Homo-oligomer: A and B are copies of this chain.
Amino acid sequence: MNKYITEFIGTFFLVLAAGFASGEHAVLIIASALMVMIYAGGHISGAHYNPAVTLAVLIRGKIGMADALVYMVAQIVGAVAAALIVGFLKDIPAEPIVLKDTTRALTAEAIGTFALAYVVLNVATAKGTAGNSFYGLAIGFTVYFAGSLMGSLSGGAFNPAVAVGASLINAFAWSNIWIYLVGCFGGAALAALVFRFNNPDDK
């Protein structure tokens, strides 16, 4: 039970940051929220806070199917709770962001989520980096660099729970939600396959 509460709290603050942050430093603020929540919760739940990351960890073999599904539910519930708080504390966007090119947006989400899941699997689940103190820094700043690069193409979610939260507050359009589902789960699954291929002795 404590794992699911941890996933709820961590995703809540990540989506709160994603829904709230604006201006030039928005991506750094969101990345910082993710970093600190990973450090706060990693020892309890693994600190996924992202259904696509949970899928990658499932394919990599470090979480069971039943647990993975409850993780995803806890993440979505955290995202919905954050969207409600954002709606209470500030004005929500009048118009969702417009994606100029669907193919580029899908590619951007897939590449960004590939990078995120690749980093997570290597810094938080690999034998070769066990016991390190850098996992939150590495994962948070993956979102910083990928979000900074890809934000103008796709909004830079790399996380279906973030996409749901952003859609609830009208920052993303619901009609685009499939881009985040396909792009994020696809990129994460590919990263997990690459990890398995590249680390045959680390099971």
A49 vs chain B, min Cβ distance (A): 14
Q: A43-B126, A128-B44, A199-B2 are in contact. Are A145 and B36 (CB under 8 A)?
A: yes
A2 vs B153: C-alpha distance when bound (angstroms): 31
- Are A145 and B33 neighbours in the complex by a CB distance under 8 Å? yes
Cβ of A137 under 8 Å from chain B: yes
Within 8 A of B (CB), among A94-132: 104, 107-108, 111, 115, 118-119, 122-123, 126, 128-129, 132
**Chain B residues with CB below 8 A from A115, complex form:** 13, 36
Total contacting residues, chain A, CB less than 8 A: 59
**Interface 1/0 per residue, A11-30 and B, CB below 8 Å:** 00100110011001100011
Copies in the complex: 4
A77 to chain B, nearest CB (A): 16
Q: Is the CB of A119 within 8 A of B36?
A: yes
Kindly report which residue of chain B lies nearest to residue A198, judged by CB atoms.
B2
